[in-house]
Chain A
């Protein structure tokens, strides 16, 4: 699905990513763990094309298409979806309007017919009820006055509505209570299938109690230093990261 080769990126001349290699085939869930400042969120943002970061080398390929130089919206349309760590508020723009615009942008790109308001509403309402959210959620302004849990649920609602090829979850689990965490996990589990991929960036094991990863990567100082299975997560929970340092 996505292949990252020797990716280097910096912000304000400070090197953050120092040669990342990552290959996530379709149907797999990968996890990246690492300390604060190791470059995990930078990686998520660079995959999404955030122009705050400078890409200094390497490339990102999405199903054989090189997207390294592609604009943010075109990457999104190619199938990359970022669940934001801090989703931003847009006052006065309703979730329904925003989400339908986003969905139809994708549909148009895929050569499908745009979805009308009623069809969209039915689709969105079905997803809302699975997430345990009220229909009135759609009438609220995007992330405006949302609680931490609502913001993350809103991201999952968008994920399930847009149904991309690759979901990148940037610390989606941080700051959630157990119930919200379960809802988020439920959403991600519903999303994943053998044709798409998930990249989870996290600090904690707790989300992984609900979503079983296929591959776990550990990141230190802008590089992936170890790749393995779930047992790595347990080791990190117990011993931290210092054992990985040279």
Chain B
């Protein structure tokens, strides 16, 4: 049985990555290398105000004196930051009409299942499509603007809403926060910007779809979402990249600001190319995501389904500053082949009666290494703070690993903390049971894994819960025998 398992595991690892094609289009691309001139050039293309260029340069100055973090349980070839290009954009620049977008790019998104044509779009989902370093199109902008909602590319926001960008940019993740955040602050090229005005409940799901296409480039996008008092928004990001032999760097920053009585729900389905069976190629995913519950009774909820990338380094966090504010983190992380994921969250309780929930599901197959790293910090004045953490891991095969590093720091005796962790294997007895009922092995595995992930999938918006389930099924096809 064990030998047979191994055979089928090996078979899985040969699975083709469905989104691995590349698009052949003319792109404007910077020569590899990073220095002040590159940043100035980038800022100039973007017609940025002086304050933003200064902010970038300051971040760059800091970055030069910082060193890459080494505490994560991941191993990778050193990144040569001078060998990367920091800007790549299709020659045809974005315009108001889709007619002006290169048909090749529209076709690329169609192939990815993302239609940029509003009529054909999944109902109730607006999308901002980011291709390499620039935003290509944003759908439903007019419809959203009727509600006073701003949903546009970051570059447009800088032009059209500089006061909002200036107020909130770096307010949650300072430019000097960490090595990758500093790099992003210096060179970020585009991303999405969302502002939900007071009392508005966003009538549709907002989403950004990131696609890395160009070779030897880094993608450094920046997302900023501000929910004003009493507002509500649900946002989703998806990501894919072509199969390339060299590793590509993706270092993004996402900042969320939730004012009094507002709610931000942020979901990610991350399916970057993860490299081949030998671990060659794949995306290095170093991402800083953080939200602040600024006002009382506000809520930020992160849900992530991470199946891609060669290396993932990511800890979406919530700072609960307002009283009664709520932070949530739901995560499914799958590693197979030689993928490595070091992911988790940080929950920082500052306000009174703040409450956080962490539910993570790690799935390791092949030679994948899956690490949960989470920090819960209760500050001195956070009366009656509560945290519940549950970290479960499942192992498929005998060459993979699951690791859990919870850090808890409590400075107020009224805090209530609960932590649960389990590690299990998909049992032969569970598979036998399913098979005996006539259910095929592949279906049994996906059924068991989906059951294991249920609590997290339930947090995803309906349309994407189905997508996530299918993604897990495809990812784990033939992983047990």
Cross-chain contact A91 with B451 (CB below 8 angstroms): yes
B441 interface hit (Cβ, 8 Å): yes
Measured between beta carbons, the chain A residues less than 8 angstroms from B429 are 88
A84 interface hit (Cβ, 8 Å): yes
Number of A-B contacts (CB under 8 A): 76
* Complex alpha-carbon distance, A106 and B430, angstroms: 19
Pick from B430, B436, B439, B452: contact of A101, CB under 8 Å: B439
Pick 13 A–B contacts, CB within 8 A, sort by A: A49-B436, A51-B1, A76-B436, A90-B434, A90-B447, A92-B453, A92-B454, A92-B455, A93-B454, A97-B447, A98-B434, A98-B447, A158-B437
Known contacts A102-B439, A106-B438; A72 and B432 CB within 8 A of each other = yes
A59 interface hit (Cβ, 8 Å): no
Which residues 409-456 in B have Cβ within 8 Å of A in the complex? 427-430, 432-441, 443, 447-448, 450-455
Cross-chain contact A90 with B439 (CB below 8 angstroms): no
Cross-chain contact A90 with B433 (CB below 8 angstroms): yes
* Complex alpha-carbon distance, A106 and B443, angstroms: 14
What distance in Å separates the Cβ of B270 from its nearest Cβ neighbour in chain A?
Answer: 22
Which residues 41-57 in A have Cβ within 8 Å of B in the complex? 48-52
* Complex alpha-carbon distance, A109 and B438, angstroms: 9
* Complex alpha-carbon distance, A197 and B39, angstroms: 79
Instruction: Name which of B432, B438, B448, B451 has the most chain A CB atoms within 10 A of its CB.
Output: B438
Cross-chain contact A52 with B436 (CB below 8 angstroms): no
Cross-chain contact B448 with A90 (CB below 8 angstroms): yes
Which residues 71-89 in A have Cβ within 8 Å of B in the complex? 71-73, 76-77, 81-82, 84, 87-88
Measured between beta carbons, the chain B residues less than 8 angstroms from A87 are 433
Measured between beta carbons, the chain B residues less than 8 angstroms from A52 are 1, 428
Measured between beta carbons, the chain A residues less than 8 angstroms from B450 are 92-93
* Complex alpha-carbon distance, A162 and B443, angstroms: 18
A105 interface hit (Cβ, 8 Å): yes
Instruction: Name which of A49, A73, A109 has the most chain B CB atoms within 10 A of its CB.
Output: A73
A227 interface hit (Cβ, 8 Å): no
* Complex alpha-carbon distance, A52 and B1, angstroms: 8
A141 interface hit (Cβ, 8 Å): yes
* Complex alpha-carbon distance, A91 and B213, angstroms: 40
What distance in Å separates the Cβ of A94 from its nearest Cβ neighbour in chain B?
Answer: 8
Cross-chain contact B443 with A76 (CB below 8 angstroms): no
Which residue of B has the minimal Cβ distance to A141? Answer: B451
What distance in Å separates the Cβ of B228 from its nearest Cβ neighbour in chain A?
Answer: 37
Cross-chain contact B439 with A92 (CB below 8 angstroms): no
6 tightest A-B contacts by CB? A92-B451, A93-B451, A92-B454, A102-B437, A72-B435, A105-B438
What distance in Å separates the Cβ of B358 from its nearest Cβ neighbour in chain A?
Answer: 18
Measured between beta carbons, the chain A residues less than 8 angstroms from B427 are 88
Cross-chain contact A105 with B433 (CB below 8 angstroms): no
* Complex alpha-carbon distance, A106 and B447, angstroms: 17
Known contacts A52-B1, A88-B433; A73 and B439 CB within 8 A of each other = yes
What distance in Å separates the Cβ of A138 from its nearest Cβ neighbour in chain B?
Answer: 15
* Complex alpha-carbon distance, A71 and B439, angstroms: 11
* Complex alpha-carbon distance, A49 and B434, angstroms: 13
* Complex alpha-carbon distance, A49 and B437, angstroms: 12
What distance in Å separates the Cβ of B9 from its nearest Cβ neighbour in chain A?
Answer: 16
Measured between beta carbons, the chain A residues less than 8 angstroms from B438 are 73, 76-77, 102, 105-106, 109, 162
Residues 4-34 of A, flagged 1 when their CB comes within 8 A of B and 0 if not, give 0000000000000000000000000000000
Known contacts A93-B450, A101-B443; A88 and B430 CB within 8 A of each other = yes
Which residue of B has the minimal Cβ distance to A45? Answer: B432
